[in-house]
Amino acid sequence: MDPGEFGYSTLPLQHGPYEAISAETLKGTNAGKVAVVTGAGQGIGAAISEALAKSGASVAILDLSIAKQEDTRKACETHGVKVAAYACDVTSQDAIISTFDAIEKDLGPIDILVNNAGILDSRPLLMSTFDGFWRQIEVNFKAPLLTIHTLLPRFRERGGGCIINIASRSGTVDVPMTLGYVSSKAALIRATHTLQKEMEIDGLDPAIHFYALHPGGVLTGMGGSAAKQDVKEKYGDPRDESFFMTLFKDPPALCGQTCAFLASGRGIGLRGFYLDCRQDVGKLLEKGRETLVKEKRNTLTVNFLDGYCNEP
């Protein structure tokens, strides 16, 4: 793997919360709203939950067990908002519907959804079981679509809402031995683009706004996890490569605060785009939505040989 294959940014990247997305700047911007965060038990999901709580939102946190979310719940409650934890298998439509019904009974109508739950099995397809490969598609892509499919009619009835899909740079590049992960994240980014277009067609744009967000290089149990022993024996341990640890230098709070910013509506000009939370939202907004759309920025695309276009 060559970390410089796609070049290095000439503009400075952010490696922690900055003024535009800081807790101080966003204080109270999501007050009165109800937010749902999946995969909230630890890491990025916990940081997203707390950032939304800091910005004033009541927070419903979801994971496979309530016990796993105890630390997240306590952290969110310190900010004086309502917090409720739910055990939910987000790959089950019945579980999602019943959980969302319970949330709206306990906390009120849902305004914000952050699809964060995800898994990674680092191994080539030739060494995978198909079930093991497909499980990543189920958790990383099917589950967000199930939550979106459940919530969209409610957003339509209420006239608005925000959905943030935690994507990955891996969905924009080829990363060997992560086929299930990269495929599911690419699909999630494309779904974000397409769903925002559907909101336009139905007259629901910009009231319902979607975002696909790369959380940065966060050393979580998943992002920095080692391959299983059988894979290491054949291919070596990627953690032994000198550049490996330099990829993970971003705190979960950077993604968390970016989510709070987007949920507040302050970044609505970036709706439908794939965003990297290390890139300053101010610079993107300064460029202007019309220009970003015209130049196909922050969108999955294909680069053909000059003279050929992606025509119908």
Residues with active-site annotation: 181
162 forms beta bridges with 112, 209
Beta strands in the chain (DSSP E): 34-38, 58-63, 83-87, 112-115, 161-166, 208-214, 274-276
Helices first, then strands: H and E counts in the chain = 11, 7
**C-alpha–C-alpha distance, residues 273 and 196, integer Å:** 9
**C-alpha–C-alpha distance, residues 309 and 14, integer Å:** 34
84 forms beta bridges with 60
Query: CA geometry: angle at 116 spanning 19 and 109, to 5°?
Result: 85
36 forms beta bridges with 60, 113
Q: Show the tokens assigned to 271.
A: 């709706």
**C-alpha–C-alpha distance, residues 223 and 243, integer Å:** 14
Which of 190, 188, 118, 110 lies closest to 151 in space, CA to CA?
Answer: 110
Q: What three-state secondary structure class fits 26?
A: helix
- Contact residues for 109 (Cβ-Cβ < 8 A; gap 6+): 34, 154, 158
**C-alpha–C-alpha distance, residues 206 and 196, integer Å:** 8
Q: Which amino acid is at 109?
A: P
